[in-house]
Amino acid sequence: MKTCLFLLGAIGAQACMRERSFVHHSHPHVKRQSQNSTFPPILNANEQILLSSFDNTSIAEWSYYYTHGAHVAGQNKTMAQWTADKWAGYGFKSRLDEYYVFLNYPVSNSLVLTYPNGSTYKPTLREDVLEEDPTTSYPNSIPTFHGYSFTGNASAEYIYVGRGQKIDFDRLQSLGVELKGKIALAKYGGPFRGLKVKNAQDYGMIGAIIFSDPGDDGNMTEAKGVAAYPAGGARNPSTVQRGSVQFLSTYPGDPTTPGYVSKPDSVRADRSKILPGIPSLPISWIEAQPILQALNGFGTNGTQVNRTGWVGAIPGVTYSTGAGSNASLSLSNVMNDTYGTIWNVVGIINGTNQDEVVLVGNHRDAWIVGGAADPNSGSAVLIELAKAFGKLTATGWKPTRTIVLCSWDAEEYGLVGSTEWMEEYIPWLKNAAVSYLNIDVAVAGPIPDISATPDLHSISTSLMKKIVYPYRGSNNLTLYDVWVHEGGVPGVLGSGSDYTAFLHRGIASIDMGSGGGPNDPVYHYHSNYDSYAWMERFGDPGFHTHKAMGQYLTLLLYHMVSDPVVPLEPAAYGPELLKYYRALNTTIAATNYTVDLTPLQSAISNFTYAAREFELLRSKAISTNDSALLAVQNHKARDFSRGFTSQGGLPTREFYQHTIFAPGRDTGYAPVTFPGITESITFDRNQTLAQEWVVKTSRAILVAAGILKT
Ligand SMILES: *[C@@H]1O[C@H](CO)[C@@H](O)[C@H](O)[C@H]1NC(C)=O
Ligand SMILES: *[C@@H]1O[C@H](CO)[C@@H](O)[C@H](O)[C@H]1NC(C)=O
Ligand SMILES: *[C@@H]1O[C@H](CO)[C@@H](O)[C@H](O)[C@H]1NC(C)=O
Ligand SMILES: *[C@@H]1O[C@H](CO)[C@@H](O)[C@H](O)[C@H]1NC(C)=O
Ligand SMILES: *[C@@H]1O[C@H](CO)[C@@H](O)[C@H](O)[C@H]1NC(C)=O
Ligand SMILES: *[C@@H]1O[C@H](CO)[C@@H](O)[C@H](O)[C@H]1NC(C)=O
Ligand SMILES: *[C@@H]1O[C@H](CO)[C@@H](O)[C@H](O)[C@H]1NC(C)=O
Ligand SMILES: *[C@@H]1O[C@H](CO)[C@@H](O)[C@H](O)[C@H]1NC(C)=O
Ligand SMILES: *[C@@H]1O[C@H](CO)[C@@H](O)[C@H](O)[C@H]1NC(C)=O
Ligand SMILES: *[C@@H]1O[C@H](CO)[C@@H](O)[C@H](O)[C@H]1NC(C)=O
Ligand SMILES: *[C@@H]1O[C@H](CO)[C@@H](O)[C@H](O)[C@H]1NC(C)=O
Ligand SMILES: *[C@@H]1O[C@H](CO)[C@@H](O)[C@H](O)[C@H]1NC(C)=O
Ligand SMILES: [Zn+2]
């Protein structure tokens, strides 16, 4: 899963529930940020051992293993055990942690378009089998479907609803379009797909079809002269994006055990608030084309709807709303609702300080036999990371802090493996977790990207200077050079990958990866063409980017677990909080609501002051070599961000506890800052509630400040 920031303008893109989206404009020449990076980077002896252990050909071998067998959630224990055995071979004490969760699998589906004259068109709902891409013809390849979708039929006229955000449906209503009882035809991109289905349902619609659109592929389109995969880098027209339709922004994890762990004897809650109650299907652009064309000339023309992202680039389509077309769809979706076992792999090397733990996670499950980018570029990298630490421990080195490697299952259904695991181990994590480092789509293209909590910005960006990063034919640049060239701003965490559960319990988190821009080969997200064959030819020929991303994660983990000073910078929250405060003030000023932000402003000043005191004391501990004081400061750095969480959770969603950032309720991927306050205004339109959240948020900031002080 991962983020789609079409909403915010510019973009970050890596993980896996997250879609392909464009990072920044490319410039023809990359200048080395030479003020303080040397080339080649200077490494100490341990860094040298770790980084020189990385081998692109063995990464390719791990990638090959992961991408040649079906591994949808809960369906491949062999692969989990193989992962555990690999890690164990490199010295990690490894085990499988099982959970018993609600999942559903596709049984059958169909779709028929009936034209006003009674003739019909019946899409195949299948992706083409390609000779050049062997895993597309595997007999056990996975049909196109939506995870956690609703079993049912729907037959009705249909309306094109754009990206399917609330604002799109509101626009349709203001255009006088009747939505009740109709089927929604929505475009992928923008909000998380489950929210498109939720909105359709909330507006009284009875089914949803979601299509991919080459309008989201930048310059890499057949219309612009690029051959389609497998001949070239444009989207194969038959590509279908599978994926979960859980209501991600309400609750991730097993929808039948909100807030507690899923074991065989767990009490099961009503799942209907978190999963759709109407059927849905994904479809390729080539098969959506006739369905959209049947709406041409009916209702409001696409260009007249005046909504961002409404008009796409499917030839011969006007993206009209379609009201009054008299064309209808008949859809059927049959899923097998079931409970089953999932397997997280957990690998541990104890540190000398066992009350300080650093976690590294990647999910293993994929919607398809392949999954070469999502998520197994990350899985392949993690094995190589384990190997590197194996080489280092062979020299007698021991980590100061405990290392926990995690290979999550069922991430794709809704971050299920990581969420259930967090819910089981929360007492330990609250006490001991220093940070959680996530890698999902390690590689889907050449452009690196990170999103992180502010306290991790400094360490994560400075270490980029020590990594040689291959970029568009250059081999004398560092990751830092390339990242700066591509925009060089760490993103804010929303949701879409496994950091979510940890972040929302106040644990410092980072998510990293790389993706393609508008002129790079299209990455076929959640499609059969996210395959080893695609990766080898288009995504990362030679697996050199895999190697660089793996080295980066390895170096970050190494410093997190071995630097005498925990490399978190609480003070970095100060300027970020001020930035979010100004944005909130602007948001409120644009409405008629009156919200007193004074308590928030004052809490931010207090935090800033406390963080400065903390820094001074930490510097003193270092300069006077006072190890007792340093240990205290290290624990404060570990703990302070727990303060940002609010026990009862954000309005309407108890799970999401972080008061500083959260996925938007109607975006799912993209973050909202000061979410309790902001969404009380933008979503609930409730001034009283907003004022209450000013108090709660300010209190949380003061709790964080208090932890730094005591
Ligand atoms: C240069 O980098 C080193 C290590 O990353 C750092 O300690 C030092 O402060 C940097 N100097 C400047 C001028 O940025
Ligand atoms: C599990 O994955 C492995 C590795 O890709 C593969 O060899 C095996 O066939 C898969 N098992 C099943 C049941 O699909
Ligand atoms: C697409 O290609 C054209 C011509 O090469 C270029 O000017 C434009 O910037 C490219 N678009 C993007 C989004 O990069
Ligand atoms: C869309 O906006 C344009 C100008 O901004 C306006 O002329 C047009 O009437 C709008 N269309 C609709 C359907 O409101
Ligand atoms: C409808 O929009 C298309 C572009 O999508 C445009 O070519 C066409 O002229 C428009 N038709 C009307 C009637 O506005
Ligand atoms: C549904 O799944 C169960 C296992 O949970 C299996 O026994 C059953 O055969 C499946 N039914 C269908 C129709 O696939
Ligand atoms: C780590 O140490 C604890 C005791 O504090 C022990 O129970 C556990 O087995 C050790 N784990 C590993 C991976 O060595
Ligand atoms: C880096 O490599 C490019 C060619 O890719 C070359 O033009 C340039 O001079 C090199 N720069 C340095 C500092 O080595
Ligand atoms: C908050 O917004 C008001 C109204 O736009 C403006 O006058 C004020 O300067 C803003 N305050 C801050 C701190 O940005
Ligand atoms: C503010 O209130 C006025 C008068 O009631 C109304 O015309 C205007 O649309 C409102 N503005 C916003 C942004 O809600
Ligand atoms: C903020 O800090 C000041 C100065 O340290 C202190 O007097 C005040 O009580 C603090 N405010 C709160 C709400 O904690
Ligand atoms: C607004 O929020 C307040 C405080 O939570 C609540 O009591 C009130 O019912 C809400 N108003 C509406 C219209 O929902
Ligand atoms: Zn993923």
Dump pLDDT digits (tens) for 304-316: 999 999 999 999 9
Q: Among the atoms of ligand 3, which is closest to the Cα of residue 517?
A: 14
Minimal-distance CA residue to ligand 10 atom 4: 592
3-state secondary structure of 216: helix
Q: Distance from the CA of 480 to the center of ligand 5, in angstroms?
A: 45
- Candidates 195, 251, 166, 6; CA nearest to 684 is 166
Q: Distance from the CA of 535 to the center of ligand 3, in angstroms?
A: 24
Question: What domain range is 153 assigned to?
Answer: 103-336
CB 366 within 8 A of CB 376: yes
Percentage, residues of the chain above pLDDT 90: 94
Q: How far apart, in whole angstroms, are the C-alpha atoms of residue 635 and residue 113?
A: 62
- Dihedral, CA of residue 374, residue 377, residue 382 and residue 385, to nearest 10: -150
Residue 25 clears pLDDT 80, i.e. is over it: no
422 shares its domain with 295: no
For 497, the enclosing helix (H) or strand (E) is: none
Q: How far apart, in whole angstroms, are the C-alpha atoms of residue 93 and residue 347?
A: 5
CB 405 within 8 A of CB 329: no
34 ligand 1 Cβ < 6 A: no
Minimal-distance CA residue to ligand 1 atom 11: 36
Out of 338, 339, 341, mutate this one to test ligand 6's pocket (max ligand atoms within 8 Å of CB): namely 338
Residue 12 clears pLDDT 70, i.e. is over it: no
The domain spanning residue 626 has which CATH number? 1.20.930.40
Matching residue, tokens 């089953």: 340
pLDDT, residue 320, reads 98
Residue 322 clears pLDDT 90, i.e. is over it: yes
CB 400 within 8 A of CB 356: yes
Q: How far apart, in whole angstroms, are the C-alpha atoms of residue 403 and residue 359?
A: 6
Cβ neighbours of residue 508 under 8 Å, at least 6 residues apart?
434, 435, 436, 452, 453, 455, 456, 568, 641
Q: Which ligand is nearest to the CA of 364?
A: 13
Minimal-distance CA residue to ligand 10 atom 7: 592
Cβ neighbours of residue 466 under 8 Å, at least 6 residues apart?
41, 42, 43, 47, 51, 478, 555
pLDDT, residue 37, reads 72
Minimal-distance CA residue to ligand 11 atom 7: 606
Dump pLDDT digits (tens) for 405-440: 999 999 999 999 999 999 999 999 999 999 999 999
CB 281 within 8 A of CB 334: no
Residue 21 pLDDT level (bands cut at 50, 70, 90): low
Work out the burial of residue 370: count CB atoms within 10 Å of its CB; fewer than 13 is exposed, 13-18 middle, 19 or more buried.
buried
The domain spanning residue 93 has which CATH number? 3.40.630.10
Kindly state whether residue 612 falls inside one of the protein's structural domains. yes
Minimal-distance CA residue to ligand 7 atom 2: 350
CB 397 within 8 A of CB 540: no
Q: What's the pTM?
A: 0.95
Q: Using CA of residue 252, residue 255, residue 256, residue 262, what is the dihedral sign?
A: negative
Q: Distance from the CA of 480 to the center of ligand 1, in angstroms?
A: 13
Length reported for the chain: 710
Out of 76, 85, 105, mutate this one to test ligand 2's pocket (max ligand atoms within 8 Å of CB): namely 76
Cis geometry, peptide bond prior to residue 134 (ω within 30 degrees of 0): no
Report the interhelical angle of 376-393 vs 77-89 (nearest 10°): 30
Q: Pick the range with the lowest mean pLDDT from 27-41, 74-88, 373-387, 657-671.
A: 27-41
Q: How far apart, in whole angstroms, are the C-alpha atoms of residue 576 and residue 571?
A: 10
Q: How far apart, in whole angstroms, are the C-alpha atoms of residue 562 and residue 577?
A: 29
Q: How far apart, in whole angstroms, are the C-alpha atoms of residue 106 and residue 240?
A: 15
Cis geometry, peptide bond prior to residue 255 (ω within 30 degrees of 0): no
Q: Among the atoms of ligand 10, which is closest to the Cα of residue 592?
A: 1
Q: Ligand 7: residues within 6 Å at CB?
A: 93, 348, 350, 354
Q: Pick the range with the lowest mean pLDDT from 4-8, 73-77, 248-252, 605-609.
A: 4-8
Which pair of tokens denotes residue 70? 């079906």
Q: Among the atoms of ligand 7, which is closest to the Cα of residue 92?
A: 13
248 ligand 5 Cβ < 6 A: no
Q: Determine the residue type at 652.
A: T
36 ligand 1 Cβ < 6 A: yes
Q: Distance from the CA of 36 to the center of ligand 1, in angstroms?
A: 6
Minimal-distance CA residue to ligand 5 atom 6: 318
150 shares its domain with 269: yes
Residue 546 pLDDT level (bands cut at 50, 70, 90): very high
557 shares its domain with 584: no
The domain spanning residue 323 has which CATH number? 3.50.30.30
Kindly state whether residue 240 falls inside one of the protein's structural domains. yes
407 shares its domain with 444: yes
pLDDT, residue 32, reads 64
Cβ neighbours of residue 219 under 8 Å, at least 6 residues apart?
226, 518, 519
Kindly state whether residue 64 falls inside one of the protein's structural domains. yes
Out of 21, 23, 219, mutate this one to test ligand 3's pocket (max ligand atoms within 8 Å of CB): namely 219
- Dihedral, CA of residue 374, residue 378, residue 383 and residue 385, to nearest 10: 180
- Residue 490 has φ and ψ, to the nearest 5°, of -65, 135
Kindly state whether residue 489 falls inside one of the protein's structural domains. yes
Dump pLDDT digits (tens) for 60-69: 999 999 999 9
Which pair of tokens denotes residue 588? 């409120």
Kindly state whether residue 3 falls inside one of the protein's structural domains. no
474 ligand 8 Cβ < 6 A: yes
Q: Ligand 12: residues within 6 Å at CB?
A: 686, 688-689, 692
pLDDT, residue 10, reads 30
321 shares its domain with 345: no
Matching residue, tokens 């950032």: 661
Residue 14 clears pLDDT 80, i.e. is over it: no
Dump pLDDT digits (tens) for 377-404: 999 999 999 999 999 999 999 999 999 9
362 shares its domain with 290: no
| Average of per-residue pLDDT across 174-190 | 98
> Which among 501, 531, 562 is the end of a domain?
562
> Which among 316, 336, 356 is the end of a domain?
336
Cβ neighbours of residue 81 under 8 Å, at least 6 residues apart?
96
Dump pLDDT digits (tens) for 35-58: 567 899 999 999 999 999 999 999
In the chain, the number of structural domains is: 3
Strand ranges in 503-629 using DSSP code E only, listed in sequence order: 509-515
b/e code 61-92 from CB counts within 10 Å (16+ = b) = ebbebbbebbbbbbbbeebbebbbebbeebbb
503 shares its domain with 638: no
pLDDT, residue 11, reads 34
Q: Give ∠ CA 616-621-623 in degrees, rounded to 5.
A: 90
- Residue 22 has φ and ψ, to the nearest 5°, of -90, 140
Minimal-distance CA residue to ligand 2 atom 9: 69
356 shares its domain with 483: yes
Q: Among the atoms of ligand 4, which is closest to the Cα of residue 306?
A: 1
Q: Ligand 4: residues within 6 Å at CB?
A: 300, 304, 306
For 590, the enclosing helix (H) or strand (E) is: none
> Which among 532, 562, 592 is the end of a domain?
562
331 shares its domain with 405: no
| Average of per-residue pLDDT across 650-668 | 97
- Can 411 be counted among the known catalytic residues? yes
For 204, the enclosing helix (H) or strand (E) is: none
Q: How far apart, in whole angstroms, are the C-alpha atoms of residue 1 and residue 16?
A: 3
pLDDT, residue 710, reads 79
Dump pLDDT digits (tens) for 257-287: 999 999 999 999 999 999 999 999 999 999 9
Dump pLDDT digits (tens) for 672-686: 999 999 999 999 999
Average pLDDT score, the chain: 95
Residue 288 clears pLDDT 70, i.e. is over it: yes
Which pair of tokens denotes residue 662? 């959260």
121 shares its domain with 237: yes
Kindly state whether residue 644 falls inside one of the protein's structural domains. yes
pLDDT, residue 13, reads 36
pLDDT, residue 6, reads 28
Q: Among the atoms of ligand 2, which is closest to the Cα of residue 76?
A: 1
Q: Among the atoms of ligand 7, which is closest to the Cα of residue 402?
A: 1
Kindly state whether residue 135 falls inside one of the protein's structural domains. yes
Q: Distance from the CA of 677 to the center of ligand 12, in angstroms?
A: 13
Kindly state whether residue 464 falls inside one of the protein's structural domains. yes
CB 257 within 8 A of CB 248: no
625 shares its domain with 589: yes
368 shares its domain with 313: no
Q: Which ligand is nearest to the CA of 225?
A: 3
Q: Which member of 47, 157, 411, 576 is catalytic? A: 411
| Average of per-residue pLDDT across 146-157 | 98
pLDDT, residue 319, reads 98
Q: Determine the residue type at 321.
A: T
Out of 345, 346, 350, 393, mutate this one to test ligand 7's pocket (max ligand atoms within 8 Å of CB): namely 350
Minimal-distance CA residue to ligand 12 atom 11: 686
